[in-house]
Amino acid sequence: MIDHPTGNMIAQSAHLMGDPARASMLAALIGGDVLTAGELASQAGITPQTASGHLAKLLDGRLVVAERQGRHRYFRLASAAVAQALEGLMALSPPPPAFPARRHGPRDAAMRQARTCYDHMAGRLAVDLTAALQQRGFLHRSDGVGVVSDAGHRFFCDFGIDLAPTSRSTRPLCRLCLDWSERRPHLAGQIGAALLARTLALGWVVRTPNSRTLTITPAGARGFSDMMGRAVDGRNG
């Protein structure tokens, strides 16, 4: 029998994500949150004892990592790659029966407009911004990977984002991640994370407590409008 290590690895990760309770716990962490086992059990609708068994499997599969602080043990996704895999699976999944057939992603209009996907932006704002940067020649797609042009390097530098390579990170500079609700790509990788951090620092977007939703502020509506060359509605939804 021929061994297929790559296929086995894919099957193992798919099996871990494929259980409904584990999938619910992973989905609760996709916004970059850190949660306790009890909180994840509540999200999945299972007992704390059952959640502990599932979390042990996710830890072994390197889909989550745990860190202890005081008396509590907190869990988070192991990497941005796990979040991107989950987002891709969400994009491939059919909507629940209660959804209109043509509509995908979250029901909440504000979350569809702008939200976090691990450490970068997702939703309509993020895909429109990515499309605008491509149209302006700041980045383009090559073999599924985002490539930043010379003009793009100048643009991001002027915007306050340092694109100088560092030896500490092996993460791709620019990735294009399929958006769950919009079914178009948004920016991920180092640039995606830096863009979210920079817009948060500028007050263009603010996090919504206990949610992945990002609220676009009036300053953000003006800033994104200038960046994209078209009006951006600051009213989420």
**Is 87 inside any structural domain?**
no
CA 191 – CA 97 distance, rounded (Å):
36
> Do residues 136 and 206 share a domain?
yes
CA 150 – CA 37 distance, rounded (Å):
46
Tell me the per-residue pLDDT of 125-183, one tens digit each, with 9 for 90 and over. 999 999 999 999 999 887 667 889 999 999 999 999 988 766 566 678 888 887 878 87
CATH number for the domain harbouring residue 33: 1.10.10.10
**Is 59 inside any structural domain?**
yes
**Structural domain harbouring 53:** 5-78
**Is 90 inside any structural domain?**
no
pTM, two decimals, is: 0.65
> Do residues 69 and 148 share a domain?
no
- Tally the domains of the chain: 2
> Do residues 15 and 49 share a domain?
yes
Task: Count other C-beta atoms under 10 Å from residue 91's C-beta.
Answer: 17
> What is the helix (H) or strand (E) element at residue 91, kind and residue range?
helix 80-92
> Do residues 119 and 205 share a domain?
yes
At 233 the pLDDT is 73
Q: Is the dihedral of CA 150, 121, 184, 29 positive or negative?
A: positive
> Do residues 143 and 68 share a domain?
no
CA 63 – CA 43 distance, rounded (Å):
17
Question: Max alpha carbon distance in the chain (Å)?
Answer: 62
Query: How much is the mean pLDDT over the chain?
Result: 84
Under 8 Å between Cβ of 81 and 61: no
> Do residues 43 and 122 share a domain?
no
Tell me the per-residue pLDDT of 3-39, one tens digit each, with 9 for 90 and over. 566 677 788 888 899 899 999 999 888 877 788 899 8
Give the residue from 78, 112, 136 where a domain finishes. Answer: 78
Tell me the per-residue pLDDT of 104-131, one tens digit each, with 9 for 90 and over. 445 578 888 999 988 999 999 999 999 9
> Do residues 74 and 13 share a domain?
yes
> Do residues 105 and 47 share a domain?
no
Give the residue from 43, 78, 113 where a domain finishes. Answer: 78
Distance of CA 79 to the CA centre of its chain: 10
**Is 233 inside any structural domain?**
no
CA 123 – CA 106 distance, rounded (Å):
10
> Do residues 65 and 121 share a domain?
no
CA distances from 118 to 32, 39, 193 (A): 4, 18, 9
> Do residues 105 and 60 share a domain?
no
Backbone angles phi, psi at 35, to 5 degrees: -130, 155
